[in-house]
Every structure is written in C-alpha cells, then in structure tokens.
C-alpha cells in the first residue's frame, strides 16, 4: 500500500479526507503495468500517481467502507476485510491493517481456497480471487444469508452474484460495476455517491440467479 497511501498523504493530503474524493481517484488514477521498469529515484516519473493495479484496488476496497452501511445488528467496531483464495495483492494491505475508517478499526485476514465457507461469514468485506463458476456459485449460496460485501475482478463477477466488480475502463483506468440486487438481499446499503460512478448497476436478480439468492423477485 506504500505507493497509493504515501502519495496521497504526503503530496496531496487527500487520503484520509472526505469519502467522496474516491470519485476523483476512480476516474484519474492510472495503472502502471506490472512489467514496467521502475523510474530512476528522484525522477519526475516517481512523483506521478502511477500505481500497480492491485495497490489501486486495495486502496479502493479500503475506501468502500465509507460508502457501505451494514445492518445495525452487525458488529462494526472492527471491519474485517477478507482475501479469499490466492492473494493477488502482495503486501498492499499491510499499511491498511489496523488503520481506522471513520469509527471502525480495519483488520485484514487471508483465507485459503479450502477454508470452510462458514469462517468467511465473519468478514464484512470479502475479496474473492478468481474462482471457477461452480465454486463461485457455491460460495455465493453459502453467503446468501450473511451481510458480507463480496468484491472481485473476474469477468462477469456481478452477473454471477457478486456485489462489486472491478473492471478495466481502458488499458490504464479501473472502474467498478455494482449489483445492488445482491446487496439489498443481505441488508447492505450502497450509498448513491458510489453508485453514480459505477459503469453498470444490476438492480434486479436475473432468473439464472434466483436460486442463489433464495428469493423470487417480481419481474
């Protein structure tokens, strides 16, 4: 997390500012390819807000806490961010672990792909590494009665029942898609400010996912 957090704290002072600033970040922060050679120390390029893809996504996940409301009966003194499956973030969450977001202390936990799904229900936010469709469906069914915000970046993530999906807007920018039908089903509320920057929103459950959500919505 060193890249994103250090830049915004030291250079702009915006990192811990008002939550709506994520709107500007989502549109403006660029992704530097993993294979790009680092710029020489002290060069102008090192001052630009270029960060590797999963550093950016880790920063967004942290800021999403300010845009989501969990049910009142859900313990929220500590917000647990879970990473399920192979960890693509490296140590990007290292400086987030133990930080605060509003009145919440943030904890990051890592779960192996063979973790019992019941353990995942302790999370408030769960990033799901790339899973095959059948495994993803089973996971969503297991979490269908728990207020866990599911996030992923696999193709068609929200179409398969995920709640927030990262997508590439182009070669250098990251955007999001939101499945509000899925969030409402478990009592999560996504604030309108975050929804306004989503490239796509699913507001009703597709017929193919009715069994996943255990509810039949009127067409």
- At 34 the pLDDT is 43
pLDDT tens figures, 101-126: 888 999 999 999 999 999 999 999 99
How far apart CA 95 and CA 190 sit, in angstroms, is 25
pLDDT above 90 covers a percentage of the chain that reads: 57
Token match 């917000």: residue?
79
Task: Flag whether pLDDT at 10 surpasses 90.
Answer: no
Confirm if 20 and 26 have CB atoms less than 8 A apart: no
SS3 content of the chain, % helix, strand, coil (to 5): 35, 20, 45
pLDDT tens figures, 12-57: 333 333 344 444 444 434 454 444 444 444 444 444 344 688 998 9
How far apart CA 53 and CA 58 sit, in angstroms, is 9
Confirm if 188 and 204 have CB atoms less than 8 A apart: no
Q: CB-based burial of residue 136 (10 Å sphere; 0-12 exposed, 13-18 middle, 19+ buried)?
A: buried
Domains identified in the chain and CATH numbers: 2-213 (3.40.50.2300)
- At 207 the pLDDT is 52
∠ CA 66-117-97 to the nearest 5 degrees? Answer: 40
């Amino acid at each position: 997390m060193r890249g994103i957090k250090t830049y915004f704290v030291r250079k702009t002072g915006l990192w811990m500012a008002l939550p709506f600033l994520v709107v500007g970040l989502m549109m403006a922060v660029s992704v530097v390819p993993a294979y790009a050679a680092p710029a020489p120390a002290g060069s102008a390029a090192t001052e630009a807000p270029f960060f590797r893809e999963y550093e950016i996504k880790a920063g967004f996940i942290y800021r999403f806490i300010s845009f989501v409301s969990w049910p009142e009966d859900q313990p929220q003194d500590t917000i647990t961010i879970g990473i399920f499956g192979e960890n693509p973030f490296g140590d990007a969450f290292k400086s987030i672990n133990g930080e605060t977001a509003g009145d919440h202390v943030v904890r990051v936990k890592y779960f192996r792909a063979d973790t019992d799904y019941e353990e995942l229900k302790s999370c408030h936010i769960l990033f799901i590494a790339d899973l095959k469709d059948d495994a993803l469906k089973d996971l969503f069914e297991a979490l269908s009665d728990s207020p866990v915000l599911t996030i992923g970046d696999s193709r068609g993530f929200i179409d398969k029942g995920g709640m927030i999906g990262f997508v590439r807007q182009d070669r250098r920018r990251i955007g999001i898609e939101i499945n509000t039908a899925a969030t409402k089903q478990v009592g999560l509320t996504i604030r309108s400010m975050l929804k306004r920057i989503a490239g796509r929103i699913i507001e009703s459950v597709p017929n193919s996912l009715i069994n996943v959500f255990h509810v039949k919505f009127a067409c």
